[in-house]
Amino acid sequence: MALMLAQDAIKQPDYTHLPIKERKCILMPFMHSESPFIHQQSVPLFGFVE
């Protein structure tokens, strides 16, 4: 459920306007997923918040 919400959140136009700490929090479900595919998707997402 958290992953689905995170996937939806990053598609929202206001996502990029959130503070970095909030974006990192939203991305946490990507890193906690058991799927290697989801982990691969998260790498570029975390690169954008640094």
pLDDT for residue 50 is more than 60: no
Over residues 6-29, mean pLDDT: 95
Domain housing 35: 2-13+20-47
**What is the number of domains present in the chain?**
1
Confidence of residue 39 (pLDDT cuts 50, 70, 90): confident
Rounded to whole angstroms, the Cα distance separating 50 from 2 reads: 22
Contacts of 16 (CB under 8 A, 6+ apart): 23
